[in-house]
Structure 1
Amino acid sequence: MTFTVLNTGPAMREILQAAEPDRAELLRRALEPAAGMYSYFPGKPDLVHMHTMGSGFPLDRDIDLSLEGLRRLEEARAWERIGEALREATKVLERANPGVQVPDATVLLVVGDPTNEFFQTTSLGMNANGSVPGYIYLNVWPSLENLARLEATAVHELHHNVRYAPGNVVWDPATVTVGEYVVSEGLADAFARELYGEEHGRTRIGVAALDDDEAIGRVLTGLDVTGMQNFTAWVLGDAHAKRFGGEPVGLPTGAGYAAGNKLVDAYLAQTGRAASECLVTPAADVIAATGAL
């Protein structure tokens, strides 16, 4: 198992300080080592477009603010901390799950868009993805809250990476359910909480809905929904669905994360197992704990 945390700091500084017409091509080159994380997209998506869609730092405005964000990441030793966290978390997973397949992974860290209102307020300055084995993506605006959760966010995405690695849990786009997605988020959060505590281990966008019983109950009615085009609304909430062209289902931001945390906590309480031991636990086993909610 090897983690390649791409040294994107110097590349981002070069991009942001370059003449505007040159920035897109420089960004494309910097993103190329992680292009495989879009392998499930039809065709060959443009990396600069995907960066923009994900609220990465802009190329045509707010250059000084983006450079300030980069400086904060560098001062926080973000790249080193992420690498250390991933290596230590992998040891925990391997001890708890002997023989588990842990893929090598390329890790891409970028500065988020400093003035994108949706990214900063609804997404709370963080977009991350570890669902494609072999790649971990972290788009961070380095607020104090996000910097404090940097390790926990990285190991949350590591959990997804390992859960869906070949030989572990199969993610079949044709048959995967909202239930699997919700449970995977709950398990990943529970693992991050096991390592970094309740305050920092939970995905931030899911915290506000933890006590919203109505929203969590609504999520539970959709656990059998299939079709990945529906997942944004059921897990991230209506605001994200509207943002990315999905159909709202009546849920606040992060409701799926909150429901996943509740389900997993109920399951762990019933079984007495540690989160790290449940890496490849079938979603159906966790969902069976709904009676305890």
Structure 2
Amino acid sequence: MISSGSMMARVLDAAPDARADLVRELWAPMTGMYRFLPDGVDMAAVHRQSFGFDWDDPSDRVREGLDALVAADAWKRIERALEDGIAALASADPGATIPDLTVLLVLGDPTDEHFLDEVQGLSGFGGISGYIAITVWPTPRVLDRFEAIAVHELHHNIRYSPGGVAWNPATVTVGEHVVSEGLADVFAAELYGDAGYTHFVADATRSDDDVLAKVASGLDVTGMHDFAAWVLGDATARRFGGEPVGLPTGAGYAAGARLVHAYLEAAGGTAARSVRTPAADIIRTALPRLGLSRTEGY
């Protein structure tokens, strides 16, 4: 667990012309996430793309947000949750690879309306083995969900570690992404109850059969540039230059959780035990139980 609180304070206290390099230093332990890119990336750009706070013009509100993370003991809570999550996954699937984890918690940008309102102060990424990055704005709901947020990303990390599911950018489907989000949410719920479900997904979206059917119609879609609309929804697709498909925010999470619940009702077990279960197995079992026809690849 990177001690990012003190490092972010250094950024905020530094002279303006020194801040960008300090942000790169903050993110430096995460550069291994981009080891597959021959020229690497500018980690300051990664910070911005991850909804990180604006270092060019840090406001008192950013400092207050950092104080809120410190007061909530965010780093220790996340670390303890990851330890509990690892124990649960290792017990449920002893053959799963548990990598050495590097975990970065970053304060988000409270002036970014999409980040604050649409995804309600949360952006997490745990899909590359050994690394978890979590960007938050400390709303009461986020503060209440730190543990669930952490183990959601942990489930992704174990799923895509060696011996687990291979994420091939050329062939991966929306179905894999949707199932992975459903598994991660259900796993978090197994540990933390209803707080486990990602909070930017509206209750109406979770139970909307039209949303489920629409997501199911796209399970065979490949091409990661299209995934934002199918999984996160139209608003996020527009934000990142994608094409909307007619879905609300978090539609893929809602559909994924329904698919996973239907699968577990039929097959038994838990989301922890299913951390390495192929998406095709889950989808083939779940769709008929949800009254949906199988799509081409499933």
Same fold? TM cut 0.5: yes
How many residue pairs match? The answer is 288
Q: 2:82 aligns with which of 81, 86, 99?
A: 86
Whether the 8 Å contact between 1:206 and 1:256 is mirrored in structure 2 is: no
1:21 maps to which of 17, 23, 33? 17
2:61 equivalent to 1:61:
no
Q: Secondary structure at the match of 2:134?
A: strand
User: Following TM superposition, by how much is the alpha carbon of 1:220 offset from its aligned partner in structure 2, in angstroms?
Assistant: 0.1
CA positional deviation for 1:41: 5.0
CA contact (8 A) 1:160 1:188 kept: yes
Percent pairwise identity: 52
Question: Pick from 215, 219, 223: which aligns with 1:223?
Answer: 219
CA distance in 2, matches of 1:207, 1:79: 27
CA pair 247-41 structure 1, distance change in 2 beyond 3 A: farther
Unaligned runs of 5+ in 2: 291-298
CA distance in 1, matches of 2:170, 2:106: 31
Comparing 210-219 with 32-41, greater Cα deviation is found at: 32-41
State whether structure 2 residue 172 is matched by structure 1 residue 202.
no
Distance 1:262 1:81 in 2: 28
Task: Give the Å deviation of 1:165.
Answer: 0.2
1:139 aligns to what?
Answer: 135
Cα distance, 1:273 vs structure 2: 1.3
Q: 1:211 deviation in Å?
A: 1.8
Matched residue, 1:237: 233
* 1:118-267 paired onto structure 2 within 5 Å: 118-198=114-194, 200-208=195-203, 209-267=205-263
Q: Which residue of 2 aligns with 1:290?
A: 287
Moved over 6 A (4+): none
**Counterpart amino acid of 2:246?**
G
Counterpart of 1:138, as a letter, is I
Q: CA RMSD, aligned part only?
A: 1.2
Looking at structure 1, the residues matched to 170 and 134 of structure 2 have their Cα atoms a distance apart, in angstroms, of 27
Equivalence for 2:271: 275
Task: Report the residue type matching 2:253 in the other structure.
Answer: Y
Partner AA of 1:16 in structure 2:
L
SS of the residue aligned with 1:21? helix
State the Cα deviation string for residues 56-99 of structure 1 (Å, max 9, x = none): 01112242111111111111110001111101110111111012
3-state secondary structure, aligned to 1:204? coil
Q: Distance in 2 between matches of 1:76 and 1:38?
A: 31
List runs of 5+ in structure 1 lacking aligned partners.
none
Tell me the TM-score normalized by structure 2.
Answer: 0.94
2:120 maps to a residue whose letter is L
| Superposed displacement of residue 216, structure 1 | 1.4
Q: Deviations over 1:173-213 (max 9, x none)?
A: 11111000000000000100000001x10011224410222
How many Å apart are 1:7 and its aligned residue? 0.1
Q: Structure 2 counterpart of 1:290, which letter?
A: L
Deviation at 1:42, TM superposition (A): 6.6
Q: Does 1:95 align with 2:118?
A: no
- Give the structure 1 partner of residue 34 of structure 2: 38
User: Shift in Å at residue 38 of structure 1?
Assistant: 3.0
| Structure 2 equivalent of residue 107 of structure 1 | 103
Distance in 2 (alpha carbons) for counterparts of 1:100 and 1:64: 44
Contact 2:12 2:58 in 1 (8 A): no
- TM-score, normalised by the number of residues in structure 1: 0.95
Give the conservation status (yes or no) of the 8 Å contact 1:62–1:114: no
CA distance in 1, matches of 2:235, 2:263: 29
Distance 2:189 2:131 in 1: 22
